[in-house]
Amino acid sequence: MTPTIDTHVRLDTHPTHPSAVTAVLTGTQAHVAHLSLEAADWTVVADNVLVLVRIDHEEPYWVKDTAKHLFADGIIVETTPRLQEAMDEEWTWANYPMPWCTRSEIREVSNQAQKIHDDIRHGQLLIHAHAHAHAHDGHTTVAVGTYLHRNGKSVYLHGEDHLRQVTDTFDSPAGALLAFEKVHGAEMRPGPAPLTETERAAAEARAPLSLTAAKAEPARPEPETVPAYLADAGDHDALLDAFIDSHSEWEKWRTWSDETTHAIHESQTLRIERVHETPAHETAWTVAAYETPVSDRMWVLTATGATPAPMLEELLNHLAEGDGWDAAISAPVDEKMVTVATQPLSDAGWKHTVEGRWIRWKSPTGDAGVQFDAFTAQHPSHNLATWTVWAGPGPDRPTWAVTASPHTPSSLLADLSEALAHKTGTRHPQTGTPERRTSLVTSPPVTPAVAATPAVSRTR
């Protein structure tokens, strides 16, 4: 039907909550949409701005129903692309404790839990006592309460967040409390249980919100061109995916825990391990070469989570060329190999110093460099970190670092030196506040206290 009411509703993702949805109302008859949304349990957070926030993270699903009803009432509805993407995405709960349920049945269970949550929040279900109980799948929270409507029935509640259910009913509060105390007397505590992390996050999303927060994000400053070692880390996972997609001689798989991806060359003598969600200063990449598929490592190289994209691109490009993987494996690390590995730095005028066991090359500004450990180079069988490529305050306190063992090919190290000294990348200027990344149901929701509560994962 053609919209007949002078009201425009713009639906968008919440600026801080991972799955909540905002509605910004405009037009001379905005009150019509306002009443409709409040009736559907949307919360007012600013003038003509409402938010839908649920403990089951199903907001994108229920927004479809909201939009349909608003349009049927003759109201113009606009959905932003990022919200539409969330509405179209298929996802499921990992390790759901009721695996026999279909996706629609899971959604119905969580919707009933949402109603219980809302009744408690609105003061329509008074919780008399709670306890932490032992269940077959771990610890959970149980509670007893009485509805101030529905004929005043008292109920026994089991579980938290999207898994909370009514498992028994009583005719009176006294009978409910006696039965509850009989089972949970030792753990019984008065009143409702403390809010779970999910409930606290939902409460924060319903807090007053400025109009600007519900609108589109302001344009970010233009990225600047900087030396490769100062560039943004970018998307490491996307870099690996692009590498695998363009090189058919490599195959990858992801571990059952979904935390690590392995990529192996068809020769099975060169392997990449990529650990996802790694802190900036911890090892996120490990590249190792082997003389045969079943031999010990010949050399190993690691990179931390904050390693800039141009440096990783240089590493992957070298691996793709397949040049020199096994070069000089049995030869000792000598002056010639060190010279070859660092020639690009010398050509660029980087300062060269010798301090005991350390040989160091530093950029003219002192914020990046390469360090060679002559002592560990004499123990090649240990695969110790002999080379350190770094940027930041110093090699002992780097912003990011790449380390390599003694027999790492000098051609690979030379490529990294070349990128360090001569290549550039992009960096987005800091605006003074942390960059906000809006995450939808593709990211795990906050894990409630219930041991069996599942996390969210994509359907694969």
Quick check: 157 and 145 in contact, CB under 8 A? yes
Cα separation, 246 vs 252, in Å, equals 13
Token readout for 169 is: 């009913």
pLDDT of 400: 95
pLDDT of 458: 35
Cα separation, 137 vs 184, in Å, equals 18
DSSP conformation class of 172? S
Quick check: 180 and 15 in contact, CB under 8 A? no
430: phi then psi, degrees, rounded to nearest 5: -75, 135
pLDDT of 210: 55
pLDDT of 225: 92
Report helix angle 309-321 to 410-422, nearest 10. 150
Cα separation, 9 vs 5, in Å, equals 11
pLDDT of 256: 60
DSSP structure string for 298-337: EEEEEEETT--HHHHHHHHHHHHHT-STTTTSSS---HHH
Torsion on CA atoms 404, 408, 413, 416, rounded to nearest 10: -60
> Would you write out the chain's pLDDT as a tens digit for each of its 460 residues?
445 677 899 999 998 888 899 999 998 888 888 998 988 889 998 888 999 999 988 998 899 888 888 888 888 889 998 888 888 877 777 777 888 888 889 889 999 999 999 999 888 999 999 998 865 545 789 999 999 876 789 999 999 999 999 999 999 999 999 999 999 988 899 999 999 988 988 998 888 875 444 444 455 567 889 999 999 998 999 999 999 999 999 998 876 666 889 999 998 899 999 998 888 889 999 999 988 888 888 899 999 999 999 999 999 999 988 655 554 444 567 888 899 999 999 999 998 999 989 999 999 999 999 999 998 888 777 678 899 999 998 888 899 999 999 889 999 999 999 999 999 999 887 543 333 333 222 222 322 222 233 333 333 2
Q: pTM of whole model > 0.85?
A: no
